[in-house]
Structures are given as C-alpha cells and as structure tokens.
C-alpha cells in the first residue's frame, strides 16, 4: 500500500489554516496550499548607488526604444535575460525633489530625497537630515499583519567591513530604519533565532486584540497534526516536529494575522561558507550577498515582514569579486566612486570595468527574483506572483550627480501590470513621487501622490539649476500615472 499523502487534501481537512509545513518525504509530488483567503502582498526594494553607468549613452542601461524587451535587454542588464518576460524597465523617471534642497553637494541630498520625496533639513554640503519616512516604510505600514510586525527591514547586501554606508531608508519622520546586520549569520539569529517581540511593542489596535484572541493555528489543527504524524517515518516526524515548534514561535512573536508560507524555513547557518578574513572592500561579497538574498526571501516567506530592502550600500570602493575573480587593476589602484565620476563619455577608458561591475547588481536582482519564483505561496502559486520587486537608485547619473532618468526595473506581481511584462517603457518625465504613488496603488491603495506636492516653486526659489533636465519654479512634483 502506498504511503504517499496528499498534502493539499490534508490542508483542506484542517480548514485551509496557514500551517506552513516543511517538505516531507511523504508529500510527493509537492503541492501548494488550498482554501486560504489568499496570500498577503509583499514588496522588495533593491537599491544601488550612483545611478546609470554612462551619461553619454542611455542604451548601455536600457533599450533605446519602448516596447518588447530585446533578447539581450542591454549591456548593463544582460544578466536579466532569463527573466525578461517577468520584468518591466522604465526610463524618464526624475527625482525633482532634490532640486529644492539647495545643496549642490549631490550625494547627501540625493540619498535623503530618493525614497522619501520630502525636503530634508540641510546642515551643510552633503549633510542632510531626512524629515519623512521612505516609501518602503510607508508601504510596509499598510501591508503588515499587525502593529508588532516591522513595516520594513533593510538588509545590507554587501559586507564592506561591517560598516553600513547607506542613507536612503527612513522610518516615521525621518527616524532610523530597522537595519539588519550586514553579517548573514547574525541576521538569522536576530530574525529567526530568538523570534521575540520588541521590548516595547506598540499598543495593539482593536483589530489586533480581536485577532489575538483566536486560538493559535497549531491548537486548531492539533488533531489532524497528530493524525498526520502517525503516517510518517521517523525522519519526517522529526522534521515536522521541529517545524511546528518554529511556526508556533513565529506566531507567538508576530501576533495576529501572521501567515507563514509552506516554503518558510530557517536558513541553516551551519552550511554557510567561511568568509573570515579581509572584507573591508567586499572581498567576500560573492559569499555574503547570496546569503543575504536568501535571508530576505525567508523573512518574507515566514511573514516576519512584508516589505524588505536589499541595499547595495557600498558606494565608495567595492572590488566586485564575483565579476573580477582575479582582481581589477583599475579598481585596486583607484575606487568605484572615482571611476564613476570620471565616466562622462563613450570613449571613457573605464567604461568596460564599470559595465562589468554593474552586472553584479543585475545578477543579484536575477537571483532574488528567481528565488521568489521558486517559493510556494499560500495559494499554491509562486511567491513572486504576490511580490513586487522594485529596483531603483539614488541618482540618475552618478558621474555628474544628476538626478534625472533614475534607473528603474520592476518585476513580479504580474496582475499589477495591465499592459503586461517583458516591456520597456519611456515615461514623459514622470517623477519618483509618481512612481511611488503608483506602487502604493499596485498593492491596493488609492494614492495619487507621494511626498511633497505642488510645484518646485511652491517650496523653494533657490533651485539646484544643474539637475540635468529643464526645470523651473513651475515644474510639477507629480505628472500622473505611469502607463504600466
């Protein structure tokens, strides 16, 4: 007699409760959940610094023409060819808020405005204090299951000697974000090991109090759970017991409404490769970046958060070891930041190095999207179907501190793209405020603006005139929806 069990049938028998089971030998072939109310929406923001690779030829980053993406997409995005039909690339998105900061320094004002679309307090050249929450925090507050769930978690994608160099993500009123460690094993311990509530959690809302009065998922399915155990071999029983204990702990820590997926599992730190030694310039990023990507994926799968940021924050002197295994003389003798600033024209001698290095970001984005596509959601479909993956930068062209043509790549959540995916879109000078308002609508909001509103002249008469595009006091901060 066959010992194969129908996973979907078992879950239907327990009323479709979101008990995220591990993969057991007895469940073959693998099945998804059925009978749930539907999985939550999620958003991942991927951030790199310095914008596009060349100011002399936009086609190095994105296709020249709008329409279906070509087979190779572009030199900088060629690594995304395997997911070409799952992405949309955008041109013509501008950070116009940066023009009203009054700071000609470039980096500080770009970072403080690129995700907040709000005017920062300027303390000096490249010294800004953000005054509003970034888009990841805002969307996370709306999507989270309860007030105990962190609205957004920022994951440093590079080690950079353990020093976090980012400055684009903020909490309420410009407060610091919830920042994960740059060391992957510490992230596992912080997010999955202790699984405990904040020492001072926010007061629960009425909704939270009502939800937490319900029985725990494990209590509600105890009878069926016990019945299932009797049909499993010893290995499966042990795996199931360990997973049940983990899920129970997650629920106790997360509060009401937390719904881990069937793909939720704790990354196995014992299997992490050794990356000790010199890491000040990202020498071991080839090891740590994939581990952080998996931490992002599992944080979403286990419903620890519904919004995450993967921040490639090392904007000064990373060595990009995955792209230059034997080292690169130009990067070793100089640094990434300097090469970016010297890259003005098509004849630039560092163009090849820069283009190769940019593929590190594209390959990491590819890994993230493919991993989400492999994960099974509560409805049995890939998690990518309910997860929007937004790749942006703090600048348009880092070579001149220009903030027009911010590079944007979108993936996942195909239902939010009426025109379909696998396309390149050229917008008519839409703003980051337009883009973020659209993202809020894509996950269920009715927002028409994000950040400050009106025109540039409504906020300042001292505009940064060398922004790279034709702006003036009458330039609007929002131009309307983007034709997705």
Domains delineated in the chain: 1-37+215-255 (no CATH), 43-212+274-458 (3.40.720.10)
Q: What is the pLDDT of residue 381?
A: 96
**Which two tokens mark 3?**
């010992």
How many Å apart are CA 22 and CA 301, to the nearest integer? 12
- The tens place of each residue's pLDDT in the chain, 484 residues long, gives 444 444 444 443 434 344 445 545 444 433 333 334 689 999 999 999 999 876 556 678 889 899 999 999 999 999 999 999 999 999 999 999 999 998 877 788 999 999 999 999 988 777 889 999 999 999 999 999 999 999 999 999 998 776 788 899 999 999 999 999 999 999 999 999 755 344 455 555 544 544 444 444 455 445 555 666 676 777 777 766 666 666 665 555 556 788 999 899 999 999 999 999 998 999 999 999 999 999 999 999 999 999 999 999 998 899 999 999 999 999 998 888 888 887 555 456 788 888 899 999 999 999 999 999 999 999 999 999 999 999 999 999 888 888 999 999 999 999 999 999 999 999 999 999 999 999 999 999 999 999 999 999 999 988 876 666 788 999 999 999 999 9
If you ran DSSP here, which 8-state letter would residue 361 be given? H
Q: What local confidence, expressed as pLDDT, does residue 313 receive? A: 94
Q: Is 106 left (phi over 0), alpha (psi -120 to 50) or beta?
A: left
The reported pLDDT for the residue numbered 223 is 52
Q: How far is CA 343 from CA 356, 363, 385, in A?
A: 14, 22, 38
Global pTM value: 0.83
Residue 185 and residue 159 in contact, taking contact as beta carbons nearer than 8 Å: no
Look at the block and give the residue holding tokens 């992490």. Answer: 272
4 within 8 A of 260, measured Cβ to Cβ: no
The closest of 290, 323, 305, 270 to 159, measured between CA atoms, is 290
Angle (CA) 71 77 81, round 5°: 35
Predicted pLDDT at 308: 99
The per-residue pLDDT for 215 is 45
- Burial of 280 (C-beta count, 10 Å sphere; 0-12/13-18/19+): middle
């Amino acid at each position: 007699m066959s010992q194969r069990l129908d996973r979907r049938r078992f879950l239907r028998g327990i009323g479709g409760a979101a008990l995220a089971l591990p993969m057991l030998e007895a469940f073959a072939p693998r099945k998804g959940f059925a009978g749930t109310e539907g999985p939550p929406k999620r958003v991942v923001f991927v951030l790199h610094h310095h914008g596009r690779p060349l100011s002399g030829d936009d086609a190095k980053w994105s296709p020249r023409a709008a329409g279906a993406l070509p087979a190779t997409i572009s030199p900088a995005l060629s690594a995304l060819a395997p997911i070409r039909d799952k992405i949309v690339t955008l041109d013509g998105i501008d950070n116009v808020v940066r023009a009203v900061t009054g700071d000609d320094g470039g980096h500080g004002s770009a970072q403080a405005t690129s995700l907040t679309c709000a005017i920062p307090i300027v303390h000096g050249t490249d010294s800004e204090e953000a005054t509003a929450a970034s888009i990841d925090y805002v969307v996370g507050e709306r999507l989270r299951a309860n007030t105990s769930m962190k609205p957004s978690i920022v994951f440093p994608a590079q080690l950079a000697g353990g020093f976090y160099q980012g400055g684009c993500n903020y909490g309420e009123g410009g407060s610091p974000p919830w920042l994960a460690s740059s060391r992957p094993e510490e992230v596992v311990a912080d997010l999955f090991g202790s699984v405990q509530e904040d020492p001072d959690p926010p007061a629960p809302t009425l909704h939270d109090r009502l939800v937490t009065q319900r029985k725990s998922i494990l209590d509600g399915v105890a009878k069926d759970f016990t019945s299932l155990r009797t049909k499993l071999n010893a290995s499966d029983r042990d795996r199931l017991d360990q997973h049940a204990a983990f899920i129970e702990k997650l629920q106790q820590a997360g509060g009401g409404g937390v719904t881990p997926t069937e793909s939720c599992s704790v990354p196995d730190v014992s299997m992490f490769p050794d990356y000790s030694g010199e890491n000040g310039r990202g020498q071991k990023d080839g090891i740590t970046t994939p581990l952080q990507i998996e931490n992002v994926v599992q944080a979403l799968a286990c419903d620890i958060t519904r919004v995450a940021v993967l921040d490639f924050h090392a904007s000064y002197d990373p060595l990009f070891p995955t792209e230059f295994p034997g080292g690169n003389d130009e990067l070793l003798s100089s640094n990434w930041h300097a090469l970016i600033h010297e890259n003005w024209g098509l004849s630039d001698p560092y163009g090849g190095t820069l283009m190769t290095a940019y593929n590190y970001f594209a390959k990491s984005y590819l890994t993230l999207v493919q991993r989400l596509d492999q994960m099974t959601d509560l409805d049995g479909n890939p998690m990518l179907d309910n997860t929007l993956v937004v790749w942006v930068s703090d600048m348009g062209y880092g070579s001149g501190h220009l903030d027009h043509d911010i590079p944007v790549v979108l993936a996942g959540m195909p239902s939010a793209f009426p025109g379909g995916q696998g396309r390149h879109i050229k917008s008519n000078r839409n703003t980051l405020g337009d883009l973020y308002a659209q993202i809020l609508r894509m996950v269920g909001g009715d927002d028409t603006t994000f950040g400050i509103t009106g025109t540039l002249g409504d906020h300042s008469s001292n505009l940064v005139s060398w922004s790279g595009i034709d702006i003036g006091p009458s330039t609007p901060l929002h131009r309307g929806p983007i034709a997705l």
